[in-house]
Chain A
Amino acid sequence: MRYRFRCLLVAAVLTLSWFGTADLLLAKESCRISVDTILAARNDTVVDPQLKRHIGELQAMFNYTSYRLLSSESLNLSVGQSGLVSLPGDRRLKITPQKIRGSRADIALQMMKQTRTVFETQVQLLNRGSLFVGGPTYQNGNLIFKISSAY
């Protein structure tokens, strides 16, 4: 009886420890990248309902009055694999997860417009976190790209 109790206790402790450290020990091999393209403008006050939860703080920082979701695209990418997302204004965003460890993924981003590279950057994106890339003019406003990762 005592032996059984001890075995159960050890199993419980090991299980709990595993749940606590599994994320750290097991390297993830792929992640899901989402790119939401938002048009921020000042000509009206429309805010798409699906954006309200994500841009609450942005509204306080920018002087735009409307936020429209133009497109949304998701990619499942393995480490080292590149994915391309088409963006308005003849732009493309090349996304390459390079390493995933702990709570962050190292991701290389390359923004291209027509045939030239606008910028290249290396970011460490928090799991279920987002990077907002904005600035390019489009129609009557500016584009904001919300790049999110989850794994």
Chain B
Amino acid sequence: MIHPDADACDEIRLYRYLDKDLDAGEMAQMAAHVAGCRQCRRQLAALTTFSQDLRDRVKEATNSVDFVAVEKQVLNKALRQYGSRGGLSRFIAALKYTIPATITAGLLLFFAYSSDVYKPPPLPSAIINSFTGSMSSVMIFETPETRQTILWYIEETDVESEPNAV
């Protein structure tokens, strides 16, 4: 009996049988039919061979692909697109706050540095612009470290009593 059940020679049912997409009763019925139907058996064998060959080729192709490299490539491409789309505007937006904040910080540092940290060299405590008088001698000098200005004079009547105090 080549065709025990003509309705069973249904190509769709054969695909579903191959894919085990039938219920238990249909599977048993189809198995019995295939066992008795040479045409279906041949077709099933051809389908099985084709399916196996396809799986092998897919597997072989899959093994030859470097998924890590592909993932990196995709990520880089996505990041480039993201950067070119919103990067400039985000950068400009950030500058609105960064520049004033930097200027403020600079001013604060300047005032802190000029008032506390930076110690300029001492200036002479006094600058004598003019000097007139009647005296025996006068000396103007300053101390070496703190530059305290000293004006030392000897009055005319003091010449003999204290000629050289320094």
Which A residues lie at the B interface, using CB under 8 A? 2, 6, 9, 12-13, 16-17, 19-20, 40, 57-58, 60-64, 103-104, 106, 111, 113, 116-126, 129-137, 142
Contact = CB atoms under 8 A, between A and B. Distances in A.
Contacts of A118: 133-135, 153, 155
Interface of B: 96, 100, 103-104, 107-108, 111, 114, 123-135, 138, 143-146, 148-155, 158, 161-162, 165-166
Contacts, number: 124
A135 B141 CA distance: 13
Contacts of B151: 121, 131-134
Main secondary structure of the interface of A (DSSP, over half): strand
Contact of A9 (B104, B123, B125, B155): B104
A142 B103 CA distance: 56
Contacts of B126: 123-126, 129-131
A117 B133 contact: yes
A135 B107 contact: no
Contacts of A16: 107-108, 111
Given A57-B145, A124-B127, A9 B133 contact: no
A20 B110 CA distance: 10
Given A121-B130, A132-B148, 5 more contacts: A13-B104, A19-B111, A61-B143, A124-B127, A135-B155
Contact of B148 (A17, A116, A130, A136): A130
